[in-house]
Amino acid sequence: MRHLLSPLDFSVEEINDLLDLAVDIEHNPDKYKDACKGKKIATLFYEPSTRTRLSFETAMLNLGGNVIGFSDANSSSASKGESVADTIRLISCYADICAMRHPKEGAPLVASLHSTIPVINAGDGGHQHPTQTLADLMTIRSLKGRLDHLTIGLCGDLKFGRTVHSLINALVRYEGIKFVLISPPELRIPGYMKEEVLDANHVEYEEVSSLDEAIGKLDILYMTRVQKERFFNEEDYIRLKDCYILDMTKMNMAKPDMLVLHPLPRVNEIAVEVDNDPRAVYFKQVQYAVYVRMALILTLLNS
Ligand code: CP
């Protein structure tokens, strides 16, 4: 039995196979409509979500399976003090696979140690969000045609943004990747990401504060929201929340084939006027996420 807790749990070859399966699902959905008949996914969401929970549930329904779960820790027995370890033991009696989101880093790992079903990390604190990364990889591969030799700008909250951490972990394994890390000094990428991931893999990167100066050299711009829920101090959040706003003035400085991705939800960091630009692909990313989560459910249930 396998779990997905970090993007590194799958090799590059396994990720390529999974993306190939997702593309086949995209083009031949009928082939997979009964693939999980009689199976259930449990979505255990201790933290708010729109996309991740509903796309996992859509993925399982598209595969002919069923869904159980909760979308709020307060409506579960966690509110009475039940541990993640105990919860997963009983969920293992009800479901065949589960997706867990939790505000505490490492909670899905703890669950996996006590589980008899595959556990998927659907986001743990400011740590990792590996299935968002799979959606990001499918978006880039489908629309750019490759996952190598790209200059990728990651912009916004690089300190708390778990999608950024997972995406960097996944992309350092491809040839010719360069990162431009665009953030205010307070929201720079954590030191462990620089030392253990970027430097350890000899990946080229630069840290800058100006989106205007960086945008012209990017193949991909990955915008992120400032993660309000991770701040200890509201004043700091208010000061930093609008530090970057991508608008058409900035888009006009970008390459004609640069893609704009965002894991969503968006707050103010991308002006609505950008939505109509063909380079804005964040809503396509949402659709790719369903295919890739279908492929992941199939892969984990068959492993
Ligand atoms: N991208 C993402 O994780 O969105 P949700 O928080 O809505 O699941």
Q: What is the pLDDT of residues 18-43, one digit of tens each?
A: 999 999 999 999 999 999 999 999 99
Torsions phi, psi for 33 (to 5 deg): -70, -20
**Any domain includes 1:** no
- Of all protein residues, the one whose alpha carbon is nearest to atom 3 of ligand 1 is 52
**Closest-lying ligand 1 atom to the alpha carbon of residue 132:** 1
Banded pLDDT at 251 (limits 50, 70, 90): very high
> How many domains is the chain partitioned into structurally?
2
Residue 233, pLDDT > 90, answer: no
Same-domain status, 150 and 195:
yes
129 as an active site residue: the answer is: yes
Same-domain status, 161 and 280:
yes
Q: Residue 109: which H helix or E strand, with range?
A: helix 107-113
**Any domain includes 2:** no
**Closest-lying ligand 1 atom to the alpha carbon of residue 50:** 7
**Closest-lying ligand 1 atom to the alpha carbon of residue 264:** 1
Residue-number span of the structural domain to which 272 is assigned: 130-285
Q: Catalytic residue among 102, 129, 162, 165, which?
A: 129
Can you give the CATH number for the domain in which 66 is found?
Answer: 3.40.50.1370
Instruction: Kindly report the pTM of this predicted structure.
Output: 0.95
User: pLDDT digits over 79-103, tens only?
Assistant: 999 999 999 999 999 999 999 999 9
Same-domain status, 117 and 195:
no
CA of 206 to the centre of ligand 1 (A): 27
For 240, the token pair is 């930093």
Q: What is the DSSP string of 133-185?
A: HHHHHHHHHHHHS-SSS-EEEEES-TTT-HHHHHHHHHHTTSTT-EEEEE--G
Same-domain status, 121 and 147:
no
**Any domain includes 201:** yes
80 as an active site residue: the answer is: yes
CA of 202 to the centre of ligand 1 (A): 30
Residue 178, pLDDT > 90, answer: yes
Same-domain status, 145 and 266:
yes
